[in-house]
Amino acid sequence: MATKTFRTILTLLILVCIYSCSVGKFIPEGETLYTGSKIDVTFDKEVKNQKKVRQELNTLVAPEPNTQFLGLRPGLYFYYKAQKKRPGFINRWLNKKIGEEPVYLSDVNQQRVKQLMLNRLDNRGFFYSKVTSEVDSTQKHAAIKYNLTLPKPYTLEKFELEKDSLPIYSEIEKALEETEIKLGDRFDLELMKFERERIDHELKQRGYYNFNPDFLIFEADTNRYDNKKYDLFLRLKRNLPKKTVIAYTIDSISVYPNFSIDTEKEIDTNTTVVNGINFIQEKEFFKPKKMEPYILFGVYQKYNSETARLTSNRLSALGNYKYVNIRFNVKDSTELDSTASLYADILLSPLTKRSVRAQLQAVTKSNGFAGPGISLTYNNRNLFKGGETLSISGNFAYETQLSGGKGTGLSSIAGGLKTDLVIPRLLPFSPKQFKYAVPKTKISLGTDFLKRTKLYTLNSFNTSFGYTWNANRFVYHELNPISINYVNLSNTTEEFTAILDKNPFLKQSFDQQFIAGLNYTFTYNELVDVNNNHPIFISTSLDIAGNTLNLIGGSDKTVFGLEYAQYAKADIDFRYYIKWGKEQSLVSRLYAGWGIPYGNSSTLPFVKQFFSGGPYSVRAFKIRSLGPGTFSSTENGTSSFFDQSGNLRLEGNLEYRFPIWSYLKGAVFADAGNVWLTYDIEIPEDEPAASREFNEELLAKGKYSSNWAKELGIGVGLGLRVDIQSFVLRFDFASPLQLPYLPEGERIRIPFFDGGSNNVIFNFAIGYPF
């Protein structure tokens, strides 16, 4: 009975809402609300890419009608309400935020739209097309239908370059070897414009500094055939100045490594010449021999716009200059023959050499911990006058658990010191071997400590030597052939010792304190292309440890008296974005990671294990609280303060993102994932009964099996994000849909309604989750 009453009330509320948001009563006398247009296209003959033609025609329809939501027009409604004599504060505010001025039928210029369509069809080869329009209207609303009849398009029969003895024609011929204009294709004016730009780009890489795409003329002849075919001819404009059709050679290059805007040029007497390039600086700011490899063009070479662009990018990527300006100037000459000369000035304005940055932080985590933090970073640019950057950073944070569970009152103190030296070249290789961007060598040394009251102290020392480089606009590589990490667990309390004694799997993961190996990361990122509405992101990494030490050490499984770890670990992160409208997107993500201990190890080191749950994972579960499998530490009596882990992780996410107002964005999301174990745990014969029981339960519940889909933690939620120029504060509210640690058949529940006080998990984080 209660359910029926609730449905009745809900239906009445919906009907009242629909009536109250109806705009028909506000439409002025003599006006008709424009509700949109439809295009009906008829082709006389079978035509390729009909869908593309229709899509292009749809872009010409204007104006856009007022937006609708579930059949309502709230933006228009609040606009009308705000026009009243006493609109009230709420109506005025809503009109300011989401209000829309009405679009009436009288605002639509049908004749202009039809003319735009005919022009576009002519440009695409559909000459002599026909367009009509008709209005479908009621008393208050009207829609327009455009009917288009497209004849057989003109197709290309012959494409020819009209040339003479000028050397530039041979270069144009070479450029035409990769033309997009193909015989049999229909007439396309936009393609011809693109071809002019492409040829101009090719010529500018062959020395033609003063050339311009407008100097190229396409002429079409449709009179030679009766069956809708045409010939296309390409030629240069007549009577072009000679300077526009000759190739230029670089006569001299001058580099100013310490250029100041206030001083046009340094004293010319302080000049160092390297490979014909003049480096002019009053005092040595940047070593000329170190900078010369970043300059990709040289003296007596032909002008090339592409090498000039790449040189500018490479010099900017050094990280030492706030701006890079490459100027090419025509050298005075009384006579111009087949070539002429340029001189190049490279003006480099340095950043401040030393800087210090301090940050105060307030951290709130999903596991109930919160607290303040501070970090300090010191940067010294161009340390050895070769573009090197030294960075020293320190951080300190205090966290305490404010609420919930057995961990109430626990706190942690964390700190660290890290030093990075970034060298803008790939030692021992030359930067010229990498054309697209500057590769970098990075040497790191750091130490961290974590003191968790009532539990333990964890000290770690790490060092690495590696390389990073961009192969092109989308591909990024990071290779660390040397990566060493030493972890020391100390000051363990009786409570934590009891946890380790009960959980041998966890105890073994802390035993091996020395990790040495290599790691590699490959990233393919199409998000850098802002015009791509369907970008993908792929990142995969490989981490291998202990093999070299095993070869060196032989039967001895220790180094410096420490037992070292042996394992192989790999993961892949795949994301696919669908973007449309105004800042709307649907993002899907799949993640998989697997680590295998072997040789000297029976488990993965604790710092290398996989975890699930939290603001960057399955948000309906507290941080690192999922798994392995159907296991739950809280059910087993283990402190919820301790993380749950595994050596296999599978995860999937789906998120719809949309704008709300100005910097405020919204999201609706669903997450699923968990971690599992894929190997057995060695149980010593003398293991206490409680420990043996724990191991058996952990294996029974945490081992990966064919039922993995039923063991996923699944959640849904809503999010609010404050996005200010890529700085994002994220607030996500999530609720579980499937809880893997419950008995099978009882795992599914209604999000936000079932589950009592634990049915909503709040996540606060910086940045988007993926």
Residue 420 confidence (pLDDT): 96
Give the pLDDT score at 481.
Answer: 94
Here the tokens at position 688 are 């206490």
Return the domain boundaries, the chain: 1-30+66-102, 32-61+106-153, 155-244, 247-350
What pLDDT is attached to residue 411? 79
User: Is 247-350 assigned to CATH 3.65.10.10?
Assistant: no
Which has the closest alpha carbon to 208: 247, 156, 262? 247
Within this chain, domains 32-61+106-153 and 155-244 share the same CATH topology = yes
Spacing of C-alpha 453 from chain mean position: 39
Is 155-244 CATH 2.30.40.10? Answer: no
Superfamily of domain 32-61+106-153: membrane protein fhac (3.10.20.310)
Q: Which residue has the tokens 């000369």?
A: 341
Instruction: Look at residue 527 in the predicted model and tell me its pLDDT.
Output: 93
Write out residues in the chain with pLDDT < 70, as ranges: 1-21, 262-269, 333-338, 362-370, 401-410, 430-433, 504-505, 508-509, 511-512, 553-556, 634-643, 682-687, 690, 757
Tell me the β-bridge partners of 670: 654, 716
For residues 293 and 431, the answer to whether their CB atoms sit within 8 Å is yes
**pLDDT of 579:** 93
The CA distance from 425 to 432, in Å, is: 9
pLDDT in tens, 403-416: 444 444 567 888 99
In this prediction, residue 268 carries a pLDDT of 52
pLDDT of residue 686: 67
Question: For position 12, what pLDDT does the model report?
Answer: 43
Q: Give one word for 522, left, alpha or beta, with left for phi > 0 and alpha for psi -120 to 50.
A: beta
628-667: buried (b, 16+ CB within 10 Å) or exposed (e) per residue? bbbbbbeeeebbbbbebbbbbbbbbbebebeeeeeeebeb
Per-residue pLDDT, 638? 44
* Cα–Cα nearest to 350, from 385, 322, 378: 322
Q: How many CA atoms lie within 13 A of 571 on its CB side?
A: 18
Its pTM stands at 0.76
